[in-house]
Each structure stands twice: as structure tokens, then as C-alpha cells.
Amino acid sequence: MLIKWITCKVSESQKQSFSLAQEKWRPLEGIEGFLGQIGGWNQDQQLEACILAFWEDIQHYQSFMEKDHDPIFHQSGQNQTYEAISVKLFSKIADMGERNILDAFENGEILRVVCAKNRRSATESMLGGVVAQSQKNSVEYLTASLWKKDSSQVNEKEQPADYSVILEQAWRVVKKGGTK
């Protein structure tokens, strides 16, 4: 599984436009190899949008980038809604515990992401999570987990996150027919 981690810096005046443009990525749900995408605003940096996308493999993702990305991007008008963007690709190593993050898409309210040199472990109140390794730097890992709002603060004290993202329901895109 390929995981795409996107962060975008926006200005206060761009925030609403970015959000509306992000809602226009629905066509993803019908693209072969697409599994799902979630995103929202970083709690610690209110003008940073964070998006986490899942693809079956690098081949499906590359096909999407070659054929489908630009038309969706331009149709959404998103090109004028941010000041800076960072995109990183990761390969899934394992689910955290027995919880698949894609199965938690519908119930997740908070996305916690850690970009670190080590892996993290699951805790009881987590809805689902995944550990992935950078495609460019073999010592860089991404750990992503989904939480309910009331349970994420408890774990934040135990294992601080680099990103704590309040998810926007309207940004959520899931593969047609579910996540499996």
C-alpha cells in the first residue's frame, strides 16, 4: 500500500477557498487503485491543511498522476488556494495492532501523524492506524492513527504527535464500494 502525506500552508484569506476546493476531489473514488483520503486542519498550526491518501500500490498512484491528477486539480481551482505544499510518499509496513486505518475512516474525528525515525505502537482507544516507511529515505517513517475527539487528548500526553488534525467530513473520499 502507498500512502501520500500532503501538507499545505494557506493564508487566512485562502482557508475557506482551500476547503471548498478540497471538497471537489470526489472523482478520486472511481479511480482504479484508490483506497481513500482524509484531511483537515492542523490543530497546532491553524493555517496548515493536512491530507492523507491511500493507494493500492505505486503503479496505480503513478497512473493517477499521469492521467487524472491535473484535470481534477484544475477543475477544483485548488492551484490558487495555498502558498506552499509538501508531498511525501510512504510504503505501508504494518497496521498498528489489529486495527486497519481504512476501516476507521468513517468514525475517525482526529488524525494524528508522527514523522519520525522510529515506529509507534497502538493503544486501546485508537480506532485504527498504520506505520509506513518513506520511499525516499529508508530511515524516515510515518505513523498515522485515527481517534475520536475525546480519546485523542489522553494519548497526546503519552505519545505526542507532529500533526494533530481535526478532520473535515466533507474532505473524506472513500473508494466506491467501500475501503476493502
Do strands 34-42 and 173-174 pair parallel, antiparallel, or not at all (unpaired)? Answer: antiparallel
Sign of CA dihedral 61, 82, 39, 77: negative
CATH class of 2-174: alpha beta
Q: How far apart are CA 24 and CA 166, in angstroms?
A: 19
pLDDT at 154: 46
- State what percent of residues in the chain have pLDDT above 90: 56
| Domain extents in the chain | 2-174
Contact between 66 and 103 (Cβ < 8 Å): no
Beta carbons within 10 angstroms of residue 107's beta carbon: 11
Q: How far apart are CA 126 and CA 154, in angstroms?
A: 10
Q: What is the DSSP code (8-state) at residue 106?
A: T
In the Cβ-directed half-sphere of 102, how many Cα atoms lie within 13 Å? 21
pLDDT tens-place string over residues 124-170? 567 888 889 998 888 888 888 888 876 545 445 455 678 889 899 99
Residue 74: pLDDT band with limits 50, 70, 90: very high
Average confidence (pLDDT) over 28-35: 96
Q: What is the mean pLDDT of the chain?
A: 86
Q: How far apart are CA 108 and CA 103, in angstroms?
A: 10
pLDDT tens-place string over residues 16-31? 999 999 999 999 999 9
* This model's pTM is above 0.85: no
pLDDT at 175: 83
Q: How far apart are CA 119 and CA 68, in angstroms?
A: 33
pLDDT at 25: 96
